[in-house]
Amino acid sequence: MKEAPLKAAVLGHPIAHSLSPRLHGYWLKHYGIDGSYTAIDVAPDHLENWIKAMPELGYKGCNVTIPHKEKVAELMDELSPVANYLGVVNTVIVREDGSLYGDNTDAYGFEHNIRSHVAGGDEALQQLLSHTLILGAGGASRAVIVALESMGASRITITNRTKDKAEKCAAIYNIETMPWNELQLQDVTCVINTTSLGMKGQPSLELDIDALPEGALVTDIVYNPLITKLLRQARARDLKTITGIGMLLHQAVPGFEAWFGQRPQVTSALETHVLAGLE
């Protein structure tokens, strides 16, 4: 008997602009898998019903995005250590017995994006991360901190428009803070923008990076536009830059593997395909 096609989805509200169907659709075709990955617009009031119905509806799991990532964590039977730590789920796996396992792959995605762009192994990485400055103290920022710790970053400083949030984060993760309006960049080796500044439709990030030392790394988790003003400024100074699209591509790997049984590769062809879907 022919097996039923494998099904997965992304749940969000709104969801029309999600690049995830394009990303997973590419891999499904590339690996010749009989499966589907669809975008489902789920209003907050219907989230619990949708999540609980996933096993019955034949889904292997789903991604969850804004505004559901925190609520979904409360609906899981079990959380991965990192999802539990962050209190945020972006990947749901329906297990053989129908129970729901929640994971957070954002830290994984950030780490693998950085690793894939830095030659020279852990030593080079640790040199680049010897003093990292994180801009922003929201959910994305906390995933980035987890990733930086996993990569062995020795000194991490956080700055945020709303000072209280930076201080709260700094206390949880035992890192330093810097005032948003008085950034000292002279000994910073890596700058990471985790705010929404620079994203299409948002104001750009106004940061004078002249004081950053030669050889510093500048990265942005914003990927629409791909080259933000921050990255443009860094390139004009010949600093190393890493765009945000790789984090999106890499965070999708563990979910795809769990749902469709194939560990997918992140390639430049995939990146080109996904970027063509940006509006």
Residues 6+ apart with CB under 8 A from 162: 137
The residue from 165, 232, 237, 240 that contacts ligand ATR (CB under 6 A) is 165
Q: Select 93 or 137, whichever has its Cβ closest to ligand ATR.
A: 137
Residue of 270, 271, 249 lying closest to 30 (CA atoms): 270
Q: Which stretch binds ligand ATR (CB under 6 A): 6-14, 31-39, 155-163, 255-263?
A: 155-163
The residue from 9, 33, 128, 197 that contacts ligand ATR (CB under 6 A) is 197
The residue from 79, 93, 134, 137 that contacts ligand ATR (CB under 6 A) is 137
Task: Tell me the residue nearest to ligand ATR as measured from the CB.
Answer: 138
255 binds ligand ATR (CB under 6 A): no
Residues 6+ apart with CB under 8 A from 174: none
Cα separation, 161 vs 138, whole angstroms: 11
109 binds ligand ATR (CB under 6 A): no
Residue of 11, 8, 40, 43 lying closest to 25 (CA atoms): 8
Of 7, 69, 71, 163, which is the active-site residue? 69
Phi-psi group of 269: left, alpha or beta (phi > 0 → left; psi -120 to 50 → alpha; rest → beta): alpha
165 is catalytic: no
Task: Look up residue 3 and give its DSSP letter.
Answer: P
Q: Where are the alpha helices (DSSP H) in 54-201?
A: 69-73, 81-86, 106-117, 121-128, 139-150, 163-173
The residue from 17, 52, 161, 263 that contacts ligand ATR (CB under 6 A) is 161
Q: Select 50 or 110, whichever has its Cβ closest to ligand ATR.
A: 110
Tell me how far the alpha carbon of residue 171 is from its chain's centroid: 23
139 binds ligand ATR (CB under 6 A): yes
Residues 6+ apart with CB under 8 A from 71: 44, 47, 48
Asked if residue 167 lies in contact with residue 195, where contact means CB atoms within 8 angstroms, the answer is: no
The residue from 67, 152, 179, 203 that contacts ligand ATR (CB under 6 A) is 203
87 binds ligand ATR (CB under 6 A): no
198 binds ligand ATR (CB under 6 A): no
Q: Select 177 or 196, whichever has its Cβ closest to ligand ATR.
A: 196
Which residues are 94's β-sheet partners? 100
Q: Select 138 or 277, whichever has its Cβ closest to ligand ATR.
A: 138
Q: Which stretch binds ligand ATR (CB under 6 A): 44-52, 113-121, 192-200, 253-261?
A: 192-200
140 binds ligand ATR (CB under 6 A): yes
Q: Select 91 or 141, whichever has its Cβ closest to ligand ATR.
A: 141
Q: Which stretch binds ligand ATR (CB under 6 A): 55-63, 90-98, 194-202, 233-241?
A: 194-202
Q: Select 185 or 197, whichever has its Cβ closest to ligand ATR.
A: 197
**Number of CB atoms found within 10 A of residue 272's CB:** 10
**Number of CB atoms found within 10 A of residue 25's CB:** 17
Q: Tell me which residues are annotated as active site.
A: 69
Return residues touching ligand ATR (CB under 6 A). Answer: 136-141, 160-162, 165, 194-197, 203
